[in-house]
Amino acid sequence: MFNDLPLLIVFVCVISLLLFIDLRMIGHKQKKMGLKESLVWSGIWIGTALIFMVLIYFFEDNGKLKAIDFISAYLIEKSLSVDNLFVFLMIFDVLSIAEEKQHYILSWGILSAIVLRLLFIFAGVALVNLFHPILYFFGIILFFAAYKMAFGNEKKIDLENNFLIKFISKKYKVLSDYEENKFFVRKNGQLFITTSLLALILIESADIVFAVDSIPAVFAITLDPFIVVTSNLFAILGLRALYFALAGIVVLFKYLKFGVAVILAYVGFKLIAIDFIHISNFVSLFIIISVLALSIIASIISKKKEESIISQ
């Protein structure tokens, strides 16, 4: 990874600058992020990732292959993350979190996710280097994840039976009626936790579960820590803006979960067959783009048919 130091420095500087602008200048405003603003920020994050891919292409050794690995890994992470956004939506709905508070919670959620992802990635790479056959196990996990994605029941948030929520609620009293963006509130000398903190905890626990699927999926593309880290972080850093854009682009996602399931099954097969069948990453990129495009096109066509039937 030290051979990639110049681009790594560029990555850290650009990400730090964008995070500073997003979190300090925009994220701390206690207001709902509008559709236009969220789409602009989603475009900025996606555009920055594409520019970084171009830098990899021109300035890295084997730049063409690494650029393909980067965009393949990025697309996998981005498509998988959409399912996580709907989980975030359910968490906020169940806890009755006001829309103007969601931006603040997601800010901390993304920062925490960065730390967790780095830990998962480096632990995963170390584990693969230590015991290569673990990739077969990762492949099996991805097959199960693909089946669950396509045929599993819709996720539900059960607060009453959630271990973390039950444990914390026993230690602290929960305050739901509060105005400022805070995780802890002191009233009459007593310390309360807010429902914002409960939401953050649930979001982080959901992200841990998500990482169990997403990181092995990227290992099917590359084990290069530089590519895994940068593609992963670029994908999750744009999540918050994408969350607030959901209302305007949800039409694209009706069949996306089936497309993601196909991709998970494919990369699961690729991991299991990694020592027996060589599949070019050019082929992998073509499959990923084709499956995502077909699922989005099918979603749009389905939506137009529904609108046509309603208008009749």
The sign of the CA dihedral 8, 11, 15, 16 is positive
Domain residue limits at 61: 2-311
Residue pLDDT, tens place only, 222-268: 999 999 999 999 998 888 888 877 766 776 677 888 898 999 999 99
Q: What local confidence, expressed as pLDDT, does residue 251 receive? A: 64
Amino acid found at 133 = P
Q: What is the pLDDT of residue 57?
A: 93
174/56 Cα distance (integer angstroms) = 48
Span 263-287, pLDDT tens digits:
999 999 999 998 888 888 899 999 9
At 13 the pLDDT is 92
Check residue 30 and give its pLDDT: 52
Output the pLDDT for position 158: 64
- The phi, psi pair for 39, rounded to 5°, reads -65, -40
Tell me the mean pLDDT in the region 288-312: 83
Give the tens place of pLDDT for each residue, 163-221: 777 777 777 787 776 666 788 888 877 888 888 888 888 888 888 878 887 889 899 89
Q: What is the pLDDT of residues 23-76, one digit of tens each?
A: 765 555 556 667 788 888 888 999 999 999 999 999 888 899 999 999 999 999
Q: How far apart are CA 236 and CA 265, in angstroms?
A: 22
Half-sphere exposure of 171 (CA within 13 A, CB side): 9
Burial class (CB in 10 A: 0-12, 13-18, 19+), 32: middle
**pLDDT at residue 5, as a whole number:** 82
**Residue 299 pLDDT greater than 80, yes or no:** yes
pLDDT in tens, 75-116: 998 888 877 787 888 888 888 888 778 888 888 888 888 888
Q: Please compute the mean of the pLDDT values over residues 277-306 and round it to a whole number.
A: 88
The predicted structure's pLDDT at residue 38: 82
Whole-angstrom distance, CA of residue 56 vs CA of residue 195: 42
The pLDDT tens digits of the residues spanning 141-164 come to: 999 889 888 887 666 666 666 777
Please give the pLDDT value at position 160.
63
**Residue 4: predicted pLDDT:** 73
φ/ψ of residue 186, rounded to 5: -105, 125
pLDDT value at residue 49:
94
Quote the number of domains for the chain: 1
Is residue 289 predicted with pLDDT exceeding 90? yes
Task: Give the per-residue pLDDT at 25.
Answer: 57
